[in-house]
């Protein structure tokens, strides 16, 4: 990912031009899908009753955990080994691996769905929701449809088919929104069962389209032989990587938004649970639309293909640092805006239901920022196939779930947030030290990070001064404008990105406009 703008970089179809074109398609589709998806979530929060919305968030958290438990760590396996095969001109072999992994994913998911269906009575009793057995069982088809589509879209994006997946994601979001509006138009109440049926139908339809696109790519790409390189040795690499990666994914699943909602459901009253679930949903929305999540299925395959040729960990560390700073470039002004205008913003978005969770939303965004730093370390470990190290480091955050549960009964939602922040900091420190002992330099650009922090402080001050000029929507809008403009203006002056980093980013843009 280093070099000048004119450097040739076509590596098995993962060159600069291919990545740039895929990125345009991907971001355009994601932007449209984001608007439709956010609107659907806000309408659900407004139209559903407080107990139903809290139960919907809880069921979503349980479904997400079961999806992670049944994933077998295949997401990272796909992004690590499929680009390597394509870069070596073995697209036929890559197609075989893609469908084998899809079959294994479907088998693991079937077991998770059966477990959820059979244990629905016990789950409802555990969370003191005895009347929700039917609702929990109704989540089974929604879980299957959403998980299968997400994995199929991942496979397509790893193969740089973003020009197709953008329409699938947009279609899923529009179907979900349209079905919700249709239910409301018929005068029916938007209940837990109705929302789960909407999710199952929308994502089930787009999964069929994704499966057809995978078959079409496999039939079209027939380069190389169908045999895996290095024979059994390659499969042993895949299995070794996948085994520890699965343990890492399980430990990572025990520290995300799903577990936050489950701990809150167990230890918080219904009203506090609904407010926390709403704030967590907003934080998850921000996290999903940061560059590290928007582009992970695009950047990781391209960089893995490049690393499979160069085997240069220094270039890998530089690329991950640049990606981390780009994420902060987006997240810091958002955090400054929420710190200055959090309460009126949340009140506006929730229709006045959850007015007191603005500061909590800001605390959850701090967790999102720590997650961005972890992603850069995770990227280096995946390239070097050090998944065992990732698993051991993530145990620190898994252990933090215990004090989170204990503090939740005394401090409410803030107990969960503070305990997990401490666990994430400990994990990242342990992981950085372990990588340094292995001889991999992955230090942060502290000068650039301090400049971004100073720009964020100025953005907060600007939003805090301007937002009282208007109330409600006007105040939040003025705060957003002030935060963004002050941040960009200060960043233009202090330039938190080095000259070489700006050259790299401009190499993927149609014009060299990245000046910060």
pLDDT at residue 305, as a whole number: 65
* Total Cβ atoms within 10 A of residue 154: 21
- For 264-290, letters b (16+ CB in 10 Å) and e give bbebbeeebbbbbbbbbbbbbebbebb
pLDDT at residue 2, as a whole number: 39
Give the relative orientation of helices 313-350 and 473-494 as an angle to the nearest 10 degrees.
160
Give a yes or no: residue 181 inside a domain: yes
Please state the domain count of the chain.
1
pLDDT at residue 315, as a whole number: 72
pLDDT at residue 218, as a whole number: 78
CA dihedral 294, 322, 80, 394 (to 10 degrees): -90
Among 303, 269, 281, smallest CA distance to 158 is for 303
Q: CB under 8 Å to 489, separation ≥6 — which residues?
A: none
Give a yes or no: residue 200 inside a domain: yes
Give a yes or no: residue 1 inside a domain: no
**Number of alpha carbons in the 13 Å side-chain half-sphere of residue 162:** 23
Q: How far is CA 502 from the centre of its chain?
A: 25
pLDDT at residue 27, as a whole number: 60
Give a yes or no: residue 117 inside a domain: yes
Q: Where would I find the beta strands (DSSP E) of 100-221? A: none
pLDDT in tens, the chain (516 residues): 334 333 334 444 555 555 555 555 556 566 666 677 777 777 777 777 777 777 777 777 777 777 777 777 777 777 777 777 777 777 777 777 788 888 888 888 888 888 888 888 887 777 766 677 777 788 788 888 888 888 888 888 777 776 777 778 878 888 888 888 888 778 777 777 788 888 889 888 989 988 898 888 877 766 555 566 555 666 677 776 767 677 766 666 555 555 666 676 666 776 677 777 778 878 877 887 777 676 666 666 666 666 666 666 677 777 778 888 888 888 899 888 888 887 777 777 777 777 777 788 888 888 888 888 888 888 787 777 777 777 777 777 777 777 777 777 777 778 888 888 888 888 888 888 888 777 776 666 778 888 888 988 998 998 888 877 666 667 778 888 888 898 988 988 888 888 877 777 766 665 666 666
Q: What is the 3-state secondary structure (H, E, C) of 121-148?
A: HHHHHHCCCHHHHHHHHHHHHHHHHHHH
Q: Which domain holds residue 35?
A: 16-506
This prediction's pTM = 0.63
DSSP states of 299-338: HHHHHHHHHHHH--HHHHHHHHHHHHHHHHHHHHHHHHHH
Give a yes or no: residue 5 inside a domain: no
* Total Cβ atoms within 10 A of residue 462: 25
**Number of alpha carbons in the 13 Å side-chain half-sphere of residue 398:** 14
Cα–Cα distance, 391 to 241 (Å, whole number)? 11
Asked if 261 and 64 count as a contact pair (C-beta separation under 8 A), the reply is no
Cα–Cα distance, 414 to 360 (Å, whole number)? 7
Give a yes or no: residue 242 inside a domain: yes
Q: Helix, strand or coil for residue 440?
A: coil
pLDDT at residue 226, as a whole number: 54
Give a yes or no: residue 514 inside a domain: no
Among 414, 65, 77, smallest CA distance to 255 is for 65
Among 301, 292, 313, 439, smallest CA distance to 373 is for 292
pLDDT at residue 457, as a whole number: 92
Give a yes or no: residue 3 inside a domain: no
* Total Cβ atoms within 10 A of residue 347: 18
pLDDT at residue 23, as a whole number: 57
Q: CB under 8 Å to 455, separation ≥6 — which residues?
A: 332, 333, 486, 487, 490, 491, 494, 496
Expressed in angstroms, the distance from the first to the final Cα of the chain is: 19
């Amino acid at each position: 990912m280093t070099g000048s703008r004119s450097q040739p970089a076509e590596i098995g179809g993962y060159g600069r031009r291919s990545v740039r074109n895929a990125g345009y398609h991907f971001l355009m589709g994601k932007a449209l899908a984001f608007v439709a998806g956010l609107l659907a979530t806000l309408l659900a929060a407004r139209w559903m009753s407080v107990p139903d919305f809290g139960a919907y968030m809880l069921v979503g958290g349980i479904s997400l955990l079961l999806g992670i438990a049944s994933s077998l760590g295949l997401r990272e396996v796909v992004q690590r080994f499929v680009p390597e095969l394509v870069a070596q001109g073995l697209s036929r072999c890559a197609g075989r691996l893609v469908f084998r992994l899809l079959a294994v994913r479907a088998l693991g998911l079937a077991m998770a769905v059966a477990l959820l269906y059979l244990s629905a009575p016990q789950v409802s009793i555990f969370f003191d929701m005895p009347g929700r057995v039917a609702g929990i069982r109704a989540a089974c088809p929604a879980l299957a449809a959403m998980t299968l589509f997400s994995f199929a879209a991942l496979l397509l994006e790893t193969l740089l088919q973003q020009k197709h997946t953008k329409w699938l994601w947009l279609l899923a979001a529009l179907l979900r929104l349209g079905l919700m509006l249709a239910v409301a138009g018929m005068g029916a109440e938007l209940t837990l069962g109705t929302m789960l049926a909407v999710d199952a139908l929308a994502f089930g339809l787009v999964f069929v389209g994704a499966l057809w696109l995978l078959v079409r790519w496999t039939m079209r790409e027939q380069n190389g032989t169908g045999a895996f390189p290095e024979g059994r040795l390659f499969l042993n690499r895949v299995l070794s990587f996948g085994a520890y990666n699965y343990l890492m994914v399980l430990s990572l699943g025990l520290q995300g938004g799903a577990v936050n909602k489950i701990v809150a459901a167990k230890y918080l009253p219904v009203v506090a649970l609904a407010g926390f679930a709403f704030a967590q949903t907003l934080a998850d929305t921000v996290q999903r639309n940061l560059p590290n999540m928007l582009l992970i299925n695009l950047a990781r395959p391209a960089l893995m293909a490049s690393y499979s040729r160069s085997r240069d960990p220094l270039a890998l560390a530089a690329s991950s640092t640049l990606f981390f700073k780009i994420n902060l470039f987006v997240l810091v002004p958002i955090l400054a805006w929420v710190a200055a205008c959090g309460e009126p913003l949340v009140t506006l978005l929730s229709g006045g239901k959850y007015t007191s969770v603005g500061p909590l939303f800001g605390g959850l965004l701090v967790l999102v920022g720590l997650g961005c730093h972890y992603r850069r370390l995770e990227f280096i470990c995946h390239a070097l196939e050090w998944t065992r190290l990732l698993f051991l480091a993530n145990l620190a955050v898994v252990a933090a779930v215990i004090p989170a549960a204990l503090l939740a009964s005394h401090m409410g939602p803030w107990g969960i947030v503070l305990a997990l922040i401490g666990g994430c900091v400990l994990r990242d420190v342990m992981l950085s030290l372990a990588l340094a002992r292995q001889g991999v330099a992955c230090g942060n650009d502290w000068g650039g990070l301090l400049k971004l922090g100073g720009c964020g402080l100025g953005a907060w001050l600007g939003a805090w001064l301007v937002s009282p000029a208007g109330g409600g929507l006007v105040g939040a809008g003025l705060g957003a404008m002030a935060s963004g403009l002050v941040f960009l203006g200060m960043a233009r002056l202090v330039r938190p990105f080095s000259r070489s980093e700006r050259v790299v980013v401009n190499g993927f843009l149609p014009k060299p406009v990245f000046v910060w």
